[in-house]
Amino acid sequence: MNKKIRIAFFDAKDYDIASFDQEKANRNVEISYFETRLTEETVRLAEGYDAVCIFVNDMVNRQMIDTLYDLGIRLIALRCAGYNNVEIEYAFKKVHVVRVPAYSPYAVAEHAMALLLTSIRRIHKAYIRTRDFNFSLSGLTGFDLHGKTVGVIGTGKIGRIFVNICRGFGMNVIAYDKYPMADSDIKYVELDELWRESDIISLHCPLTDESHNLVNADTIAKMKKGVVLVNTSRGALINSEALLDGIKSRQIGAACLDVYDEESSIFFHDFSGHIVEDDTIARLISMPNVIVSSHQGFLTKEALSNIAETTLNNVEEFMATGCCKNEICYKCGKFAECNREQGMKCF
């Protein structure tokens, strides 16, 4: 029997363990689950393993890449689509990085709409009231989505599904993408027009140097007064202090957030019996027109199953061939010497 592939699995939660245990049953892999995130203090837990498996809040900087390389780790398997938490360029020629590019775009797009509907129809407030047998409708007036203009930033798989959901509600959809889809029926506009014309703005783009703090004091000032912001992508797309200022000035009518720029030390943990030291998230949650969920958009049975399957496929494919179709390489598609385009290993 072939030697089992040993995976050090960081930031493990009960739902991760259940889905990966089910998926690994008939595979030649062995997984050790660590509750802790992968950090400079915990990275040596990976010693003796073939690969590490990490999530969105496991930060992999240069020092950690060097340490993983020294420990003999040659593969970082992200069980998510985004990879801004890994220094991809520095990893080149040291550690290979693979990801799950599409686990369930429906899960995230549907969660974005769920947050939006909950916010504008005050469903969360009605739920709390009726639990206390308060059936008053005072203060619960919302507005129709039908006929409103929604601006969608990012038209990848999740963004396009969100566009279709909005069209089902009879909304007018405009969109911005640095790389618009060819032959699409989506109406693309420049960002300034999107800020100006949208009643609702939903973010579905990756976090890059260019998109960092895309929503800031200057762009908020260009938006319609009372605009509703939805972010189920990456927290740092929005400058949180500017968001708070926009809410307090009534420029922003509501915010629906599944992500937060400083979420790594807060999200996925229970602080209900503790004082949260992050004043910004505490102020955001205290606002009556802000809904925060803790990076929950991916959390469906279908998505968890797809994440486990694709992640383990990635690991097995790489260990067998040294290549993986879901590898992230900063050179791929950008340089003439891109090895993958010539059918070779990235390095």
Q: What is the pLDDT of residues 93-134, one digit of tens each?
A: 899 999 998 888 899 999 999 999 999 999 999 999 999 999
263 is catalytic: yes
Question: Half-sphere exposure of 207 toward its Cβ, with a 13 Å CA cutoff?
Answer: 22
Nearest alpha carbon to residue 55 among 73, 33, 71: 33
Residue with more model confidence, 149 or 340: 149
Q: How far is CA 39 from CA 44, 64, 277, 335, in A?
A: 9, 8, 20, 32
Average pLDDT, the chain: 93
**Gap between the Cα atoms of 177 and 160, Å rounded:** 11
- Can 241 be counted among the known catalytic residues? no
* CA dist., res. 262 & res. 267, Å (int): 9
| 344's tokens | 């070779």
CA distances from 4 to 26, 30, 34, 101 (A): 12, 6, 19, 25
Q: Can you tell me the distance from the alpha carbon of 100 to that of 253, in angstroms, rounded to the nearest whole number?
A: 34
**Please, are residues 136 and 148 in contact by the beta-carbon 8 Å criterion?**
no
**DSSP3 helix / strand / coil % (the chain, rounded to 5):** 35, 15, 50
Q: Are 47 and 73 in contact (CB under 8 A)?
A: no
Q: Are 154 and 205 in contact (CB under 8 A)?
A: yes
Residue 82: pLDDT band (50, 70, 90) is confident
CB atoms near residue 50 (< 10 Å):
20
Other beta carbons within 10 angstroms of residue 110's beta carbon come to: 18
pLDDT per residue over 170-213, tens digit each?
Answer: 999 999 999 999 989 999 999 999 999 999 999 999 999 999 99
The rounded distance, in Å, linking the Cα atoms of 252 and 245 is: 9
Single-letter amino acid code for the residue at 34 = F
Query: Which of 23, 110, 263, 327 is labelled catalytic?
Result: 263
Mean pLDDT value across residues 32-59: 95
Provide the pLDDT for residue 228: 98
When pLDDT is averaged across residues 37-43 and rounded to a whole number, the result is 95
Q: Which domains does the chain have, with CATH numbers?
A: 5-103+300-342 (3.40.50.720), 105-292 (3.40.50.720)
Helix (H, G, I), strand (E, B) or coil at 112: helix
Write down the pLDDT at residue 335: 47
pLDDT of 334 strictly over 80: no
The CA-to-CA distance between both ends of the chain, in Å, stands at: 29
Mean pLDDT lowest among 278-287, 310-319, 327-336: 327-336
Q: What CA–CA distance (Å, rounded) separates 105 from 111?
A: 10
| Annotation marks residue 234 as catalytic | yes
Q: How many CB atoms lie within 10 A of CB 3?
A: 8
Two structure tokens written together for 301: 């049975």
331 or 58, which is more confident: 58
Q: Which of 234, 250, 309, 340 is catalytic?
A: 234
pLDDT of 338 above 70: no
DSSP-derived secondary structure letter, 81: S
* 105-108 contact pairs (CB < 8 A, 24+): 105/156, 105/157, 105/158, 105/160, 105/161, 106/161, 106/302, 107/297, 107/298, 107/299, 107/300, 107/302, 107/303, 108/158, 108/204, 108/232, 108/297, 108/298
Which of the residues 96, 99, 204, 295 is marked catalytic?
Answer: 295
Contact between 295 and 263 under an 8 Å Cβ cutoff? The reply is: yes
Please check the confidence at residue 158 and state whether its pLDDT lies above 90.
yes
